[in-house]
Amino acid sequence: MVKYNLKYLGYLKIDKVFFEASYPILFTCRNQREDLFLCSCCTVRKNLKKWLVTQTTPEIILKLLKDEITIRDSFLNKTEEKYSIILENDEYKVIKKDEFDWSEESYYLPDPNEYMEAEEGEFEEEIEYYENINKEITKEIKYTLNYKQIMEQYEIILDEISLTEKIENKSKNNMKQYIKSFDLSKEKDTIIYSKSIQLINVINNSSIITLHNKNQWNAA
């Protein structure tokens, strides 16, 4: 799958393999955007292969590997982003949420009530891998919340701007647009901190505004 730019999905590259024969059977993939997918090779014939692919999360993969949910449920969880990929005579076809393939009656999905049933320690490396990814996602969420809180504070400050005769061609909206041009949502905490301080200094040192609530930044 990695050689082809698949419709909806992009270029898929195998991330981790959980079951395999002479080919991967149950595995995860990522595309160039780093989206995570859970994949099952459900049909193999001479000139035909078929996979079911669903977008997923590290949290769902962890539940799967720890036998907290069935394999089937791990495919039916999370999003509407569900695909059937068919490779026939060296040509790929991608169908988004085929009605039968993703139905309760589907025989392409793993059997109901089937768990990974791994031996103790069998997926220890994979569990650690996805736990680390999950921690990073949790940090990103925290950073995003910090970013939103920062922007809310900027809005409070900007709403209290007193325009003076020194404004010339600048305006409150120009300053808002400048501040919002920064995208901190995916930065590391140190970068968020430094950029936040940068922005605060820009506002504090600007000759076109007067701040009435500077002390709230010291408290933060």
Using a 10 angstrom Cβ sphere, with 0-12 exposed, 13-18 middle and 19 or more buried, the burial of residue 94 is middle
Residue 3 lies in a domain: no
Q: In this structure, are 115 and 18 located in the same domain?
A: yes
Q: Please check whether residues 108 and 143 belong to one and the same domain.
A: no
Q: Tell me, what's the pLDDT at 141?
A: 57
Tally the domains of the chain: 2
In a domain, 125, yes or no: no
- Residue 105 shares a structural domain with residue 51: yes
Asked whether the predicted pLDDT for residue 219 surpasses 50, the reply is no
Do 144 and 104 share a structural domain?
A: no
Over residues 82-138, the pLDDT tens digits come to 999 999 998 999 999 999 999 988 999 999 999 999 888 999 999 999 999 888 776
93 with 158, same domain: the answer is: no
Helix (H) or strand (E) holding 195: helix 189-205
pLDDT of 166 over the 50 cut: no
What tens digit of pLDDT does each residue of 20-61 get?
999 999 999 999 988 999 999 999 998 899 999 999 999 999
The last residue of one of the domains, among 119, 144, 175, is: 119
Expressed as residue numbers, the domain containing 212 is 132-219
d(CA 81, CA 207): 50
pTM of the model: 0.63
How far is 53 from 11, CA to CA, in rounded Å? 13
